[in-house]
Amino acid sequence: MVQKILMICLGNICRSPIAEVVMADTLTKANRTDVLVDSAALGGWHVGNRADPRALSTLEKHGLKSTHIVRQITKKDFQDFDYIFGMDEDNMKELRRLSPQGSKAELLMLGDFGLDKSERIIEDPYYERGAEGFETAYQKCVVSCGAFMKQRLQK
């Protein structure tokens, strides 16, 4: 049975596309072909665009590539996906608000896996001038995706 993971952030151009690629890479390295990963936005501002160039260059620096095109989360996603991850408390609050009654998806904060409580928020680096915040988001995703796979996706 294929499991499905959806990564969510506000605009789907910074954190969630990084998390999508990192989770997919983590699964590939573990020979897990039975899990699909996608990402989406809470808001529709960037639909149809690619990820922020700083997110793409951060991934490329680590030998990874994103071909994702921004999309907005739909009601159907709550039935199609097994896990939907938010990056911060605001994401989680909005996901809980949007989640229809009887939703199949388990709503989780990515940083709750593998990170200390004080570090669990994956901050939005969008308004930073440089790439440092994108690297921090990437590093947190690496830790959290690995921890989630070990804790929840063991065969």
pLDDT in the model for residue 1: 86
* pTM (2 d.p.): 0.97
Q: Which two tokens stand for residue 17?
A: 């596309």
CATH number at residue 58: 3.40.50.2300
Sheet strands (E) in the chain: 3-9, 35-41, 83-86, 106-109
Q: Tell me what the mean pLDDT of segment 18-43 comes to.
A: 97
Q: Where in the sequence is the domain holding 21, given as residue range(s)?
A: 3-152
Active site positions, annotated: 9, 15, 124
Domain count, the chain: 1
Question: pLDDT per residue over 89-112, tens digit each?
Answer: 999 999 999 999 999 999 999 999
Residue 155 banded pLDDT, cuts 50, 70, 90 = low
